[in-house]
């Protein structure tokens, strides 16, 4: 009888040790979306990081905005599971998604779309002091940068690839001209969870570089919506549903309509940038990017 009692007690203790921690125990930034799928939601629209636990180890989607975030993510993973981080998928190669690679690799294998390594090297060359300045921003940041080295992706795929880890499948889709030089959407078909990269953002204006264009963003949003995801986790911003795509489509449709009307009237880009207002989106962040959005819309209506 006594033996049975202790066996039961032992089983309960074992369950308590083995049971995954609820998300609230992992700190305020970590949200649980599905069984074994967590998101470290960046503060103030900083980049998100997905934590996906499989029977064969952990897969991260991005490595956090800064190394301080990467260290917090590494600590959270340790609390969630004793399994190692085996793979890290970059949704884009920009430093706010990739500086923290060194925290996880080795042993993690890093996967990205073709061009990611080249993009990382080019950015580092263009701004070689970025990390030094960032490290000097606080004692915590300095500590988090300890052991820093640039870790380029091991795997660079073109167009499409599949990653199989344990019971989970990750479908990677290269998205052309949506944000960076190498953007990947990451789709978990069984779980119906989609990481949409920075192709669309939530309640903020996106940054438009010369290679980015609105028709390609709309095509990517349409492709991702067609996957019919239950959860959509953007590169930056609060995770949600396909409403994120709907909101984005509505915004670009309105922007294209207003810019198109003025362009057809023969107005110059400068005049359009001064004239076009989007009061419906006054609450959105990163307003300094709005002129870039108008310029992209102007290029699109001109067919460029």
Judged by CB under 8 A, the chain residues 50 through 89 that form the site for another protein are 56, 86-87
Query: Which residues, in sequence order, are CB contacts of 250 under 8 Å at separation 6+?
Result: none
Out of 138, 164, 211, 275, which residue is the one contacting another protein (CB under 8 A)? 164
Candidates 141, 152, 142; CA nearest to 119 is 152
145 in contact with another protein (CB under 8 A): no
Q: Rounded to the nearest whole angstrom, what is the least distance from the CB of residue 293 to another protein in the complex?
A: 33
The residue written with tokens 């479908």 in the block is: 171
In the bound state with another protein, the residue whose beta carbon lies nearer, of 97 and 168, is: 168
Task: Tally helices (H) and strands (E) across the chain.
Answer: 11, 12
Q: Does residue 207 contact residue 288 with C-beta atoms inside 8 Å?
A: no
Q: Rounded to the nearest whole angstrom, what is the least distance from the CB of residue 165 to another protein in the complex?
A: 6
How far is 302 from 166, CA to CA, in rounded Å?
A: 48
Site size with another protein, rule: CB under 8 A: 23
155 in contact with another protein (CB under 8 A): yes
Residue 62 C-alpha from the chain's centroid: 6
Q: Which residues pair with 50 in a beta bridge?
A: 39, 61
Most distant CA atoms of the chain, gap in Å:
91
In the bound state with another protein, the residue whose beta carbon lies nearer, of 57 and 291, is: 57
Candidates 153-161, 178-186, 203-211, 281-289; binding stretch for another protein (CB under 8 A): 153-161
Out of 21, 23, 150, 161, which residue is the one contacting another protein (CB under 8 A)? 161
In the bound state with another protein, the residue whose beta carbon lies nearer, of 173 and 290, is: 173
In the bound state with another protein, the residue whose beta carbon lies nearer, of 157 and 187, is: 157
Query: Which residues, in sequence order, are CB contacts of 80 under 8 Å at separation 6+?
Result: 20, 21, 26, 38, 51, 53, 58
In the bound state with another protein, the residue whose beta carbon lies nearer, of 26 and 111, is: 111
List residues near another protein by CB under 8 A. Answer: 56, 86-87, 106-107, 109, 111, 114, 117, 152-165
């Amino acid at each position: 009888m006594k033996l049975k009692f202790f066996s039961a007690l032992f089983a309960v203790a074992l369950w308590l040790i083995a049971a995954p921690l609820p998300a609230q125990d992992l700190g305020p930034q970590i949200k649980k979306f599905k069984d074994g799928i967590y998101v470290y939601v960046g503060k103030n629209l900083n980049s998100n990081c997905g934590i996906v636990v499989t029977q064969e180890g952990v897969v991260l989607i991005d490595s956090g905005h800064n190394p301080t975030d990467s260290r917090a993510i590494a600590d959270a993973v340790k609390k969630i599971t004793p399994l190692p981080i085996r793979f890290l998928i970059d949704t884009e190669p920009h430093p706010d998604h990739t500086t923290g690679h060194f925290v996880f690799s080795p042993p993690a294998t890093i996967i990205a779309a073709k061009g990611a390594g080249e993009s990382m090297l080019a950015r580092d060359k263009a701004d070689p002091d970025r990390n030094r300045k960032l490290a000097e921003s606080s004692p915590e940041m300095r500590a988090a940068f300890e052991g820093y080295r640039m870790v380029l992706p091991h795997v660079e795929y073109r167009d499409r690839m599949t990653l199989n880890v344990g019971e989970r499948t990750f479908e990677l889709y290269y998205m052309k001209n949506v944000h960076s030089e190498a953007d990947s959407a990451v789709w978990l078909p069984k779980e119906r969870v989609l990481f949409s990269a920075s192709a669309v953002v939530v309640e903020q204006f996106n940054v438009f570089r010369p290679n980015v264009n609105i028709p390609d963003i709309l095509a990517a949003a349409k492709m991702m919506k067609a996957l019919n995801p239950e959860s959509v986790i953007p590169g930056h911003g609060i995770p949600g549903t396909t409403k994120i795509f709907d909101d984005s489509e509505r915004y670009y449709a309105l922007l294209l309509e207003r810019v198109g009307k003025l362009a057809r009237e023969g107005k110059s880009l400068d005049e359009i940038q001064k004239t076009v207002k989007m009061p419906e989106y006054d609450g959105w962040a990163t307003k300094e990017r709005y002129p870039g959005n108008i310029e992209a819309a102007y290029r699109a209506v001109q067919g460029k």
